[in-house]
Structure 1
Amino acid sequence: MDQTKTFDLSASFKAYDVRGIVGESITAEIVEAVGAAFVDVLQLEGKTVLVGGDMRPSSPEFSKAFANGAAARGANVQLLDLISTDELYYACGALNAAGATFTASHNPAEYNGIKMAKAGAEPISSESGLKEIQARAEGYLNSRSIPAAPVRGLIGVHDVLKGYSEYLRSLVDLRGSRPLKVVVDAGNGMAGLTTPAVLGDALLPKLPLEIIPLYFELDGSFPNHPANPLEPENLRDLQAAVVEHGADIGLAFDGDADRCFVIDEKGDPVSPSAITGMVARREIGRAQGLGEANPTVIHNLLTSRAVPELVERHGGRAVRTRVGHSFIKAVMAAEGAIFGGEHSAHFYFRDFWNADTGMLAAMHVLAALGEQDGPLSELGREYEPYMSSGEINSEIEDKAGAVERVRHDFRAEDVEVDYLDGSTFIATDGSYWFNLRPSNTEPFLRLNVEATDKATMERVRDRVLALVRG
């Protein structure tokens, strides 16, 4: 250890996970201390800890370092090797053990990080243990030692890919689907491993799906495009391939495969709000079939208002929440919700320990498409009756001043304003709503507009942006 350095991990410990630049704010030395601290804070001495990682070059070294730190403090470690983030949640749920996976999701190649969960896939955030883990790890690093537990833990290996695949197939049965041609862009991320296992025949019997792979080679340098499907330019290869192959659907996953974006047969994106509606309808029907009255669906305040309208129309109860997965997971648990969706393409399932999984959402969309004859563009239109601006960022320092200008300008309009997360302006005649939300981490004010028609959406969007950008 460097004897002179004082360690401060606040640059890499975020609200929900750890993320930093390899060799700078995240190193094997730091990771070993975090593994030890993880065991201490969650009181895991003598218990099992699961450790895996994605395809980034540093993930194997970091997994071993975390395992060594955890074993030094008396936990028995099972190395899961290469896993997607939702595989970690599956393992923590199915094996009822706490765990960690090394991933920086859609961040560039020079990054890595840690997502952690308690037994049962319960999330760990700055409110539920992450700050304590940081403080304990800093203590070990600055004292230059990790004290040995009375009994050192054992380190073994456990492959969960087949169990994960079988479990997902038990939740959505695709065997009766009409034949579908499916292009999948894994972006050189973990979906390159999970897609053949779940949707293909690498481990389980073949489904009526023809999978056309794009960038399935696991490569943490992301040689083809960044593994962030939220950016439209990263969907272009998938859109072209869907049209070229005459495919029924395209699926794009982010680097750690916990988010999924959907492209229709024309090469057009299907909005995450439409996917939320589509999956919600299926999950409500399934819950009602099992005798559950009025099943609850969670949606964040930026999803289309078509989602709560659909949920209520089909006999469910819609609950609106702030943006962010720790909020969604907490509300999912508190409300006993069957499903939750976010505008950012995170989809959460009660049957998946309230955790998010892009693959399970994709399977629901494949099932919805495969049980009827029409194309996805027609099916998607049912769930997208309104016009949306998408999220538009304005880089300004005085975010509060900009919101105040908008509030002042719209005060003569017939609008209601709520402050659940930022400021949401809702036209009382139902013709539009928009939300202005300051970023917590960047000098951005984020705008989302939705209206009953394109002309209204564009008029409101342009008026608000003119006021914001002043």
Structure 2
Amino acid sequence: MNTIDLTASFKAYDVRGIVGETITEESVRATAAAFVDVLGLAGQNVLVGSDMRPSGPSFVDAFAEGATARGANVIKIGLISTDELYFACGVENAAGVTFTASHNPAEYNGMKMAKAGAVPISSETGLFDVRDLAQKYLDSGEIPAAETRGSVSEKDFLKAYAEYLRKLVDLSNIRPLKVVVDAGNGMGGMTTPAVLGDSILPGLPLEIEPLYFELDGTFPNHPANPLEPANLVDLQKAVVEHGADLGLAFDGDADRCFVVDEKGEPVTPSAITAIVAEREIARAKAEGNAEPTIIYNLITSKAVPELVEAQGGRAIKTRVGHSFIKAVMAEENGVFGGEHSAHYYFKDFFNADTGMLAAMHVLAVLGTDERPLSEIGAAYSPYASSGEINSELEDKAAAVERVRAAFGDEVEVSEMDGTTFEHKTEGWWVNLRPSNTEPFLRMNLEAPDTATMERVRDRVLELVRAV
């Protein structure tokens, strides 16, 4: 008798659960069958791969069993980064799934899914329909056989992925750079040598100093989550010790990339967004796009829309979350999009996110400029930011109302995603956003200078955390 409740592992954008508890071979088999049925994939190709987590191979096999039972032809694409899945779905125009739990701890695994052409699937576009049908298959204990069972084959996309990225950003003529890369024992340990090194393609003017390139889903060195400052410490130290020009840190499935400068100091994702946006606007204009569109989420620095407009582009603000960004990219014909969480989206990459391509843009800028990255980054970071600060609260709505009451008519209020308060005269803004999955109220704040940022930060936290 089935005891698994899929509502525990199906989230708004993907599936994540604890291996053997909320995600099992049985649940994967049922999910695969439902994925084929809901998306109408019988007789079509479905791509499936995994990151380096130990449960990945058995889950890939279970997925293949469920998908072929319902008539899909499964192409196993092996060990892949998540952005490599998006690439494969784009070039093959096929739906696909990769088994990954991104930056989550070792006991987790999950599924990131895409429709044909790397179109995202979320709770609003079919993911919960997959969940509900999979639950029926689980509860009945049976997946009905299709009239014609699908086939299973294999294909590798790593070389094609690397070649594709190198065509988008040519690094062959930059000045020599020394780069420390922390893969965190995740998939960046495979994609970095392929794209930036010489494991598959000819070498570039890059000297790569590898940190934790061994693929190991138990994460023996540190969690593969560069968003947490503690997980950047090894990279920061190594950059200084090696006298490197910059450092790159990838998360577990290598779809996000964080950058540190030659001093070991983080370059904010907002600054990276601005740097890449400037290049993408110039490229799009050269190709005849009079007013290229750049997408950014509401927690990104206002330096981004200011730069975009100054460069003759159009800046569009969205909610946080990759399915929202990708949808707006498609609707508005955006050429590039960036998020504060270091997800970067490219029209030329099927509107999907790829940290590697963003890193290549940064290397291209640094490699054609004699200034150090600290100096370049500072030019794109004119404001002071608090970073994300979490407060664990029982009543998150009441905390937001305390802030609203305290500032009154001094601020303009927006509720696009959480609540954003923008001061009418002092030039600062603060966003308070409740987590969907944790008991946290997330605060992000930006101000014209550090003193103002610290003053407002302390005041808002005092209000939020008042008991």
TM-score normalized with structure 1 length: 0.98
The alignment status of 1:108 with 2:108, answered yes or no, reads: no
Equivalent residue for 1:382, pick from 379, 384, 393: 379
Equivalent residue for 1:461, pick from 452, 457, 461: 457
What stretches of structure 2 of length at least 5 have no aligned partner? none
Question: Aligned residue for 1:417?
Answer: 413
Matches within 5 A, 1:18-57: 18-57=15-54
Equivalent residue for 2:350, pick from 350, 353, 372: 353
Question: Aligned residue for 2:430?
Answer: 434
Q: How far 1:438 moved relative to its partner? A: 1.4
Question: Aligned residue for 1:327?
Answer: 324
Matches within 5 A, 1:63-462: 63-413=60-410, 415-429=411-425, 431-462=427-458
Q: How far 1:145 moved relative to its partner? A: 1.3
C-alpha distance in 2 between matches for 1:416 and 1:147: 56
Amino acid of the structure 2 residue aligned with 1:16: Y
- Please tell me the root mean square deviation across aligned C-alpha atoms, in Å: 0.8
C-alpha distance in 1 between matches for 2:11 and 2:429: 31
Q: How far 1:6 moved relative to its partner? A: 4.5
C-alpha distance in 1 between matches for 2:432 and 2:104: 25
Question: Aligned residue for 1:10?
Answer: 7
Q: Identity across aligned pairs (percent)?
A: 72
C-alpha distance in 1 between matches for 2:241 and 2:57: 37
Query: Is 2:2–2:141's contact at 8 Å kept on the other side of the alignment?
Result: no
C-alpha distance in 1 between matches for 2:11 and 2:83: 19
C-alpha distance in 2 between matches for 1:422 and 1:8: 29
Q: How far 1:136 moved relative to its partner? A: 1.4
Structure 1 residue ranges, 4+ long, deviating more than 6 angstroms after superposition: none
Amino acid of the structure 1 residue aligned with 2:132: A
What stretches of structure 1 of length at least 5 have no aligned partner? none
Q: How far 1:7 moved relative to its partner? A: 3.9
How many residues are treated as equivalent by the alignment? 466
Q: How far 1:412 moved relative to its partner? A: 4.9
Query: Is 2:4–2:22's contact at 8 Å kept on the other side of the alignment?
Result: no
Q: How far 1:144 moved relative to its partner? A: 1.4
C-alpha distance in 1 between matches for 2:409 and 2:287: 49
SS of 1:411 mapped into structure 2: helix
Name the CA shift for 1:141/1:175 in 2 (closer, same or farther; >3 Å): same
C-alpha distance in 1 between matches for 2:96 and 2:404: 45
Query: Is 2:5–2:22's contact at 8 Å kept on the other side of the alignment?
Result: no
C-alpha distance in 2 between matches for 1:246 and 1:179: 13
Range with bigger deviation, 85-94 or 32-41? 32-41
C-alpha distance in 2 between matches for 1:136 and 1:426: 44
Amino acid of the structure 2 residue aligned with 1:432: W
Q: Deviations over 1:267-318 (max 9, x none)?
A: 0000000000000000000000101011000000000000000000011000
TM-score normalized with structure 2 length: 0.99
Query: Is 2:2–2:138's contact at 8 Å kept on the other side of the alignment?
Result: no
Q: How far 1:437 moved relative to its partner? A: 1.2
C-alpha distance in 1 between matches for 2:427 and 2:329: 30
SS of 1:293 mapped into structure 2: coil
C-alpha distance in 2 between matches for 1:367 and 1:105: 27
C-alpha distance in 1 between matches for 2:48 and 2:200: 22
Q: How far 1:5 moved relative to its partner? A: 2.8
SS of 1:10 mapped into structure 2: helix
Amino acid of the structure 2 residue aligned with 1:157: E
Range with bigger deviation, 137-146 or 66-75? 137-146
Q: How far 1:406 moved relative to its partner? A: 0.9
Q: How far 1:430 moved relative to its partner? A: 5.0
Question: Aligned residue for 2:57?
Answer: 60
C-alpha distance in 2 between matches for 1:447 and 1:57: 35
Amino acid of the structure 1 residue aligned with 2:247: G
Query: Is 2:33–2:66's contact at 8 Å kept on the other side of the alignment?
Result: yes
C-alpha distance in 2 between matches for 1:288 and 1:227: 37
Q: How far 1:368 moved relative to its partner? A: 0.8
